[in-house]
Structure 1
Amino acid sequence: MNSIQFIQEYLKTPRSVGAIWPSSSTLAKAMVAPVRFDQATCIVEFGPGTGVFTERLVEKLLPHNHLILIENNELFYESLKKKYSRFANIHLIYGSAEDIVSHIQQKGFTQVDFIVSGLPFTSLPEDVSTKILTESQRVLSPDGEFITFQYSKKKFSFISSYFSNYQTKRVVWNLPPAHVIRCSFQ
């Protein structure tokens, strides 16, 4: 998928795509850096979109890691399916992150070690955001992490309220600049 297609999808559904331009490789590195692949069994990515974070995750996957990609945009899902359906440890789901519990159970998991989220919490309806974070909280392992990014600080306290601890890091090499938020229970 190219940048023009990405912009077209944004124009069709700005609330769910959330950005006018794909994330930078610098942001992708910052989002994936906290994932402890040596310790993780199940990693979930919410809203992989064009796969910028997915590519970084796939580069670092170890044989014992399973990556579950949950995408609700049909064009993005089909593009990801073409790229990743041949991998036995990458599972694609066309659906909503709100249903993470049933999605991971469908793939044989009860817990998730890391959730990497590209979802635009600032533009999602509050009830959708609440359900996604509540359900994520239910499935995240005690030492797991929820990693997301936002363009503004508007939703920091909302997102972090579901977890005991959080850290932020600003990534200026992105259009627009972004804040990576790492949330955990420890």
Structure 2
Amino acid sequence: MAKPHLLSAFLQDHKVASIKSSSVFITKYICKRMDFDKEIIIVEYGPGTGALTKKFLKLMNKGSKLVIVETNEKFSSYLKKINDKRLIVVNDSAKNIDNILERLKIKKVDYVISGIPFSMTSDEEKEIIIKKTKGILDSNGVFFVYQFKKEIEDDLEKCFMIKSKKLEVRNIPPLIIFECEK
């Protein structure tokens, strides 16, 4: 299966945030802040064509797991072609993450990374996703959120402590990366 075209997905699906994959700068920044030396469980919301997904798989040890949750069926189908037993691709909404993990018999996760365009998400859905994310994270878990707009900051602060915030201007368009802790 050919890699889905981001521009056509962007024009057809309001949940697709960009016409371009996240840059290597976003990927490097997030990965440097994660501990890949131990067995970890990562959940990625809205992986698109898998720029971060592929890097995580390269860095994860063999006992780790990566659960990706993607609403776009074309992206999910494309990502299911990645042949790696540590990868679990789920075509569903992040608002169902508690049920998804329960089906997978995963109690807590170490990292959640979100590329969901929260500025294009209803307030209700945004609140559900953020609260459920807090619920699935281990006590030392970290929630990374990258966005084009900083408006999500107030919503994040209701459930998390924002450890760091970085504007990555080398990404086109620039993105803000929030690193949040319970």
**Within 2, Cα distance between the matches of 1:21 and 1:63?**
30
- TM-score for the superposition, normalised by structure 2: 0.93
**Within 2, Cα distance between the matches of 1:171 and 1:152?**
12
Is 38-47 or 118-127 further displaced after alignment? 38-47
**Where does residue 28 of structure 2 map in the other structure?**
29
Q: Write the letter of the residue equivalent to 1:104.
A: L
Whether the aligned pair in 1 keeps the contact of 2:143 and 2:180 (CA below 8 Å) is yes
Q: Write the letter of the residue equivalent to 1:43.
A: I
Distance apart, 1:161 and its partner CA: 2.0
Whether the aligned pair in 2 keeps the contact of 1:40 and 1:113 (CA below 8 Å) is no
Aligned residues: 181
Q: Write the letter of the residue equivalent to 2:75.
A: F
**Within 2, Cα distance between the matches of 1:129 and 1:62?**
32
- TM-score for the superposition, normalised by structure 1: 0.91
Question: In the TM superposition, what whole-angstrom CA distance separates every residue of 1:100-151 from its partner, at most 9, and x where no partner exists?
Answer: 1111121121101100111111111111111111110111111000001111
Whether the aligned pair in 2 keeps the contact of 1:31 and 1:148 (CA below 8 Å) is no
Unaligned runs of at least 5 residues, structure 1? none
Partner SS state of residue 119, structure 2:
coil
**Where does residue 87 of structure 1 map in the other structure?**
84
**Where does residue 56 of structure 1 map in the other structure?**
55
Whether the aligned pair in 1 keeps the contact of 2:94 and 2:129 (CA below 8 Å) is yes
**Where does residue 6 of structure 1 map in the other structure?**
6
4+ runs of 1 displaced by more than 4 Å? none
Q: Write the letter of the residue equivalent to 1:62.
A: N
Identity of aligned pairs, percent? Answer: 26
Over the aligned positions, Cα root-mean-square deviation in angstroms equals 1.5
Partner SS state of residue 82, structure 1:
coil
Distance apart, 1:2 and its partner CA: 4.9
Distance apart, 1:165 and its partner CA: 3.6
